Amino acid sequence: MTAVRPDIAPKQAPEATRFPTGFVWGAATAAYQVEGAAAEDGRTPSIWDTFSRTPGKVRNGDTGDIAADHYHLYRDDVALMKRLGLKAYRFSISWSRVQPTGRGPAVERGLDFYRKLVDELLEAGITPVATLYHWDLPQELEDAGGWPQRVTTDRFADYAAIMAGALGDRVGTWTTFNEPWCSAFLGYGSGVHAPGRTEPASALRAAHHLNLAHGRAIEVLRGQLPAAAQTSVTLNLHQVRPLTASAADADAARRIDAVGNRIFTGPMLRGEYPEDLIADTRHLVDWSTLVHDGDLAAISGPIDVLGVNYYTPTLVSTPEKGAGSTRDDGHGASDYSPWPGSEHVAFHLSEGKQRTAMNWAIDPDGLYNLLMDTSRDHPEVPLMVTENGAAFDDYVSPEGRVEDPERIAYLHGHLDAVQRAVADGADVRGYFLWSLMDNFEWAYGYSKRFGTVYVDYASQRRIPKASAHWYADVIRRHALPQTGPS
Ligand code: IFM
């Protein structure tokens, strides 16, 4: 027998690092982006129905009228999720489907859709994760003033009670809002999202009322749901970086962190608005009258999980840096800024990084840093990556396949970042890929494909992309493959 000399022994592949026991593997969608059936079973228009019908607001004049027709195809979609081995599905509820006009009694036909969807998921062994609000305010509530009006928080608390009553016996994880920053600042600041208003003061007022509505809904959910239920909110926390080490760029980063992140984490997790945010914006709103006694206590009721969405970092400077463009912050072009009080900050594209079809730099370290920073700043709350993914220009090959190696590389890099953050102490409980399937990408319509499943909109045929098979394999192993994609 020939002994193998230690110095020439074949290199053993290192044992793949497994994700923590109980780490949740999921995929996410949102009602207006996938459901379609916009006028069926009593649903009334939301602000996105109105916005997408307004000429010039959405690319190609696309609307969510049909979208991926999930409303009719949900059984097939759940079966597909099961085949992929998904353990959880994060979806949102269309408020105007279950409570048309946003007031008054619920419509049973609307509630039935979600009951059936949830039952189908449970039957397939997939955990439902319900988001109450993913940007689609009933149009009648916008007509009454929308999120800048405090009364909208009353409507949201009523709606939360309806949903807890209808689904509380079968949904164990509830999220109040998805990315309230977008609702407030893209919806009422830059106007690139519905309802398309460009009023900096209204955007700040909307942010406070979204915070308050979150707190009030958490209280309602806590009062109605079984003790084991988990409550959460999902924030698109900006991983803000200064362009240079200058004091001016550090101040630009501080400002964007304040109005991009701490405007939500401050009241929700610390029970206070940051003083620097108030100073930066006090020429626009009177915070002392906007925030009533008791609001901060209501907003800061405990949550069980903080959802974090991450796609790309945010690189900022003072405007004198020249190369920066105050318009291209990655959130869509507008003559109006979504950064009230900090309109002068310039945004930059990171050099030397590959980009997605959204022109967003691919930077997994941003996710690592975001998870580490958030767990350092808020160690009391476990984290969940509730969205991460990428759009690429996917197409079906003549053989009927969709090869998306760039998406596999993106997911591999970002899941590796999650694993590094977990190894370094961040309490990250799971990962939801955005998105389960191609869908209506807001102002970009159907021109951007974020899905791990391709949707042929003409036939509504679903084709799992190569990344879906790759993700299924990761889920099965509970670990990343040893080598990244070439
Ligand atoms: O499609 C959106 C989603 O609705 C919210 N988070 C970002 C995604 C990609 O832009």
The per-residue pLDDT for range 290-349, each reduced to its tens digit, is 999 999 999 999 999 999 999 999 999 998 665 556 667 999 999 999 999 999 999 998
The per-residue pLDDT for range 25-49, each reduced to its tens digit, is 999 999 999 999 999 999 999 999 9
Instruction: Answer whether residue 402 shows pLDDT above 50.
Output: yes
Three-state SS at 303: coil
Instruction: Answer whether residue 238 shows pLDDT above 60.
Output: yes
**Ligand 1 centre distance from Cα of residue 441 (Å):** 7
Q: State whether CATH 3.20.20.80 applies to domain 15-239+298-308+353-477.
A: yes
The reply to whether 179 belongs to the active site is yes
Q: What's the N-to-C CA distance of the chain in angstroms?
A: 38
Confidence of residue 89 (pLDDT cuts 50, 70, 90): very high
The predicted structure's pLDDT at residue 16: 74
The reply to whether 123 belongs to the active site is no
Instruction: Answer whether residue 9 shows pLDDT above 70.
Output: no
Cα–Cα distance between 92 and 79 in angstroms, integer?
A: 19
**Contacts of 51-60 spanning 24+ positions with Cβ under 8 A:** 51/193, 51/194, 51/195, 51/196, 52/194, 52/445, 54/196, 57/194, 57/196, 57/443, 58/442, 58/443, 58/444, 58/445, 59/443, 59/444, 59/445, 59/447, 60/445, 60/446, 60/447
Q: Which residues pair with 78 in a beta bridge?
A: none
Catalytic option among 120, 142, 387, 441: 387
Q: For the chain, give every domain's residue range.
A: 15-239+298-308+353-477
Q: Comparing 59-73, 319-333, 416-430, which segment has the lowest mean pLDDT? A: 319-333
Cα–Cα distance between 373 and 137 in angstroms, integer?
A: 32
**Ligand 1 centre distance from Cα of residue 309 (Å):** 9
For ligand 1, mutation pick of 179, 234, 367 (most atoms within 8 Å of CB)? 179
Residue 387 alpha carbon, nearest atom of ligand 1: 6
**Ligand 1 centre distance from Cα of residue 477 (Å):** 28
Three-state SS at 232: strand
For ligand 1, mutation pick of 435, 439, 446 (most atoms within 8 Å of CB)? 435
**Hey, how many other C-beta atoms are within 10 angstroms of the C-beta on 69?**
18
**Ligand 1 centre distance from Cα of residue 156 (Å):** 22
Ligand 1 contacts (CB < 6 A) are 30, 33, 179, 309, 387, 434, 441, 450
**Ligand 1 centre distance from Cα of residue 9 (Å):** 49
Angle between helix 466-477 and 405-423 (nearest 10): 30
Catalytic option among 35, 142, 179, 406: 179
**Ligand 1 centre distance from Cα of residue 8 (Å):** 50
What is the signed CA dihedral for 431, 436, 441, 447, rounded to 10 degrees? 130
Q: Give rounded-to-5 percent helix, strand, coil for the chain.
A: 40, 15, 45
Residue nearest ligand 1's atom 10 by CA: 441
The answer to whether 51 touches 193, Cβ cutoff 8 Å, is yes
Cis peptide before 435 (omega within 30 of 0): yes
Residue 435 alpha carbon, nearest atom of ligand 1: 1
Residue nearest ligand 1's atom 4 by CA: 30
The per-residue pLDDT for range 102-143, each reduced to its tens digit, is 999 999 999 999 999 999 999 999 999 999 999 999 999 999
**Hey, how many other C-beta atoms are within 10 angstroms of the C-beta on 395?**
10
